[in-house]
Structure 1
Amino acid sequence: MHTSSTVRPGLHEPVLAGVVTALVGFTSSFAVVLAGLRATGASPEQAASGLLALTAVVGLGIVLLALRFRLPVTLSWSTPGAALLAGASIPAGGWPAAVGAFLVTGLLFALTGAVPWLGRVVARIPQHLAQAMLAGVLLPLCLAPFQSLGTIPLLVLPVIAVWLAASAVIPKWAVPLALVAALVVIGLQLARDGTGIDPADLVPTPVFTVPVLDPAAVVGIALPLYVVTMASQNLPGVAVLKSFGYRTPWRPALAVTGAGTALVAPFGGHAVNLAALSAALSAGEGAGEDRDRRWIAALTAGFSYLVLAAVSGALVVVVGAAPAGLVEAVAGLALISTMATAVTAAFGDATGRMSGAVTFLLAASGLSVLGIGGAFWALVGGLVVRATLERTTRPRPRGRH
């Protein structure tokens, strides 16, 4: 073939897998990130800055780890964390307090890698409670597509139809294709209304915010963000790589994600972590038969994220022009699969269903006490119920393992 002189045999597989990893990871959840940042007080410019910073640092972090360890380790932003933010309220200290909470989250990631016992403490949090908290946080977002049917049916129906059809045929592309459908709908709406877009607005611009350490925001945002990201992203990310025969460089990875989160926090980024679902795209057989060369897929994904960072501003501008409810519908569709998994894990064990139910309901309630959001109280409530009502039903541990 003509390309044989420029592409080594077999190299096209990991390269293509890397591009797909970045495209799927970015397009399937960037709307969730924007929704989460806006919900915690970011202006449109600050939310765009956060997406730019996250995309760039994710790309740089992947390149660094791939070159250093020659393993298909990929990073992402915390989609469950962004969903948690979307269900939260603006902290009393406003956007600067949220940024301060993001900074604390990054420090906690780095500390977890440096102090082994902290990682063990996180691992001891009952998995079904962490998943119940996540499911409760996701519920309002996952309702958005169907609530939009009552307000903008003609706009949201094509998006849901594309998502449903793609889910049946090519599931991993279902959300990206739904996003394309939404962008087409937005474009048609703008053309009909004669609304123009200033080309200068399409260039992404970083916006710096001085972090403010507010105790309520640290407890109500940073701690739940840390727990849900560790439980739903970092730990599963390790498991995904292990399933393909790779050992995650745990401490260096957490050092990179922790430093990356702290770096992007003042620019609006909420959390960087090990990729979980998209990790399989670079580490699996789709990245080539030669397992020793699949790290090239991760490297390609890193460079692809850097390219996506350059066009993130244009996507934010177009999404910002969307009719009310349409972007939230896309975000909700992107999270339905995650919520289904979380609900299954939360209620799969009959002995923990009561604590799981309390955690789920508290997280979904939107409760706020002392300026601290419902995600934190959901975890506290679930632990209290587990310690009181379910203590006698849990089997005793048998020896050490």
Structure 2
Amino acid sequence: MYQPVFAGVVAAITGFASSFVLVIAGLQAVGASGAQAASGLLALCLLVGVTCILLPWYFRMPISFAWSTPGAALLVAAGQTPNDFDAAVGAFLVCGALIVLSGLWPVLGRAITSIPKPIASAMLAGILFPICLAPVTASVQQPLLAVPVVVVWLVVFKLARPWAVPAAMVVAAIGIALTEGTGWLTAPSSAPALVFVAPVFDPIVIVSLGLPLFIVTMAGQNVPGFVVLSTFGYQPPPRAILVGSGLATAAGSVFGAHGINLAAITAALMASPDAHPDRSKRWIATASSGAAYLVLGLGAGYAAALVAASPPILITAVAGLALLGALVTSITGALEDERRRLVAITTFLVTASGVSVLGIGSAFWGLLVGGAVMLWLGWVPARRR
């Protein structure tokens, strides 16, 4: 019985420590205050915890949930496109509604997951690329703080890969404490609290942020999550998972949570024999991870205060280190089909450019331009036959 519990707790700690910085940075990038960012992280922890307990217990499967890491990266890349956190919250709510709809109306889910892999992967790579440049930039701008973080990440990555980013975050926290002091530990905002944010439904922000958030959450997290479960012999219920995670996203959006979805990387730990030799008992691992997330949520205020006290480039650098693996995977997926490499590169360049046209961010335009190029190149051979 202790084996699945241990696996679940390790998965929760690893998942939280490796990407909470990205979540805070993403929420602040779209206009959240320190208290609102802390509320968003707390809401995510609570909702991940509840979904990781209820659905695995009901279906007796290791169905694990997490916040949308690609979605958080999208928020960082979006920068100040929304100009208003209320409008960003409205986009989060729309994203949750679309996830629910994709569960109730499978045609929508199939349409999103059938976006050509070169385009979807290239869009994600374009979102991640500027963030993954941050360790380089930070090492030049803040060498005394950033270089030790990068070195520790490299050393721990070779010895114990899952703990590389948490170790880098510890070094960053030590550097922040030495240079900025420890006042953030006693800041009033360190206490866990949910802050209600009334959503504003701005069509431009919904197109610029809400739709890309829905697409990267579905294509970058939910689809791989289903694949992981099926790899280990489970047949997860798509409707219940999508409706449940969509409702959780919608409920959490008004407290600053940007998205809940199936876990992918940590899911493998809890669905594999490492969690328990008996397949019927592995759900205990995901329930344990849910309980751990409920506890970790109590530290959301401290996490936000730490991020607020640190140089922004340092926090983005830690986030960039956490996303290097995802960048490699997305670039590989984008370029594996020789016939679609030009399409992929076009999508990548437009997305990575960060351009905003008519107030709509580059992720949307990357999808649009990539699709247009693919259709154009696909039509030319047909005309010559």
Q: Name the TM tier (shorter chain).
A: over 0.9
Q: In the alignment, is residue 145 of structure 1 matched against residue 135 of structure 2?
A: yes
- Please say if residues 229 and 235 of structure 2, whose CA atoms lie closer than 8 Å, have aligned partners that are also in contact: yes
Q: In the alignment, is residue 285 of structure 1 matched against residue 273 of structure 2?
A: yes
Alignment equivalent of 2:110, drawn from 116, 120, 136: 120
Deviation at 1:91, TM superposition (A): 3.9
Q: 1:99-138 counterparts in 2 under 5 A?
A: 99-138=89-128
Alignment equivalent of 1:182, drawn from 169, 172, 188: 172
- Please say if residues 96 and 248 of structure 2, whose CA atoms lie closer than 8 Å, have aligned partners that are also in contact: yes
Query: What's the secondary structure of 1:150's corresponding residue?
Result: helix
Compare 87-96 and 218-227 and name the one that shifted more. Answer: 87-96
Classify 1:64/1:392 alpha carbon distance in 2 versus 1 (closer, same or farther; 3 Å). Answer: farther
Alignment equivalent of 2:42, drawn from 44, 52, 58: 52
Classify 1:137/1:124 alpha carbon distance in 2 versus 1 (closer, same or farther; 3 Å). Answer: same
Classify 1:196/1:340 alpha carbon distance in 2 versus 1 (closer, same or farther; 3 Å). Answer: closer
Classify 1:308/1:369 alpha carbon distance in 2 versus 1 (closer, same or farther; 3 Å). Answer: same
Deviation at 1:189, TM superposition (A): 2.3
Q: Who is 1:235 aligned against? A: 223
TM-score (norm 2): 0.96
Q: Who is 2:24 aligned against? A: 34
Classify 1:290/1:355 alpha carbon distance in 2 versus 1 (closer, same or farther; 3 Å). Answer: same
Q: 1:72-87 counterparts in 2 under 5 A?
A: 72-87=62-77
RMSD: 1.5
Compare 138-147 and 167-176 and name the one that shifted more. Answer: 167-176
Distance 1:227 1:200 in 2: 37
Deviation at 1:199, TM superposition (A): 5.4
- Please say if residues 39 and 88 of structure 1, whose CA atoms lie closer than 8 Å, have aligned partners that are also in contact: yes
Compare 82-91 and 299-308 and name the one that shifted more. Answer: 82-91
Distance 2:53 2:359 in 1: 39
Classify 1:141/1:201 alpha carbon distance in 2 versus 1 (closer, same or farther; 3 Å). Answer: same
- Please say if residues 190 and 196 of structure 1, whose CA atoms lie closer than 8 Å, have aligned partners that are also in contact: no
Distance 1:77 1:263 in 2: 14
Alignment equivalent of 1:378, drawn from 362, 366, 372: 366
Q: What does the per-residue CA deviation read over 1:157-197, in whole Å, with 9 as the maximum and x for residues that have no partner?
A: 11111110111111111111111221222222244xx7564
Q: Who is 1:63 aligned against? A: 53
Q: Who is 1:312 aligned against? A: 300
Query: What's the secondary structure of 1:62's corresponding residue?
Result: helix
Deviation at 1:393, TM superposition (A): 6.7
Distance 1:233 1:355 in 2: 22
Deviation at 1:93, TM superposition (A): 5.8
Report the residue type matching 2:337 in the other structure: D
Q: In the alignment, is residue 349 of structure 1 matched against residue 337 of structure 2?
A: yes
Alignment equivalent of 1:88, drawn from 78, 98, 117: 78
Q: Who is 2:9 aligned against? A: 19
Report the residue type matching 2:309 in the other structure: A
- Please say if residues 24 and 176 of structure 1, whose CA atoms lie closer than 8 Å, have aligned partners that are also in contact: yes
Q: Who is 1:321 aligned against? A: 309
Q: How many residue pairs get matched?
A: 382
- Please say if residues 93 and 214 of structure 1, whose CA atoms lie closer than 8 Å, have aligned partners that are also in contact: no
Report the residue type matching 2:275 in the other structure: A
Query: What's the secondary structure of 2:367's corresponding residue?
Result: helix
Q: In the alignment, is residue 246 of structure 1 matched against residue 226 of structure 2?
A: no
Query: What's the secondary structure of 1:149's corresponding residue?
Result: helix
- Please say if residues 41 and 90 of structure 1, whose CA atoms lie closer than 8 Å, have aligned partners that are also in contact: yes
Deviation at 1:205, TM superposition (A): 1.5
Q: Who is 1:3 aligned against? A: none
Distance 2:342 2:188 in 1: 54
Give unpaired runs (5+ residues) of structure 2: none
TM-score (norm 1): 0.92
Query: What's the secondary structure of 2:133's corresponding residue?
Result: helix
Classify 1:324/1:84 alpha carbon distance in 2 versus 1 (closer, same or farther; 3 Å). Answer: closer
- Please say if residues 145 and 329 of structure 1, whose CA atoms lie closer than 8 Å, have aligned partners that are also in contact: yes
Alignment equivalent of 1:201, drawn from 189, 194, 206: 189
Distance 1:97 1:235 in 2: 27
Alignment equivalent of 2:252, drawn from 249, 260, 264: 264
Q: Who is 1:210 aligned against? A: 198
Distance 1:155 1:273 in 2: 33
Query: What's the secondary structure of 1:273's corresponding residue?
Result: strand
Compare 39-48 and 141-150 and name the one that shifted more. Answer: 39-48
Deviation at 1:329, TM superposition (A): 0.9
**Greater fraction of residues in helix:** 2
Query: What's the secondary structure of 2:66's corresponding residue?
Result: strand
Give unpaired runs (5+ residues) of structure 1: 1-10, 395-401
Distance 2:170 2:381 in 1: 49
Q: In the alignment, is residue 169 of structure 1 matched against residue 159 of structure 2?
A: yes
Deviation at 1:284, TM superposition (A): 1.2
Q: What does the per-residue CA deviation read over 1:208-260, in whole Å, with 9 as the maximum and x for residues that have no partner?
A: 11101111011111110111111110001000111111111211111111000
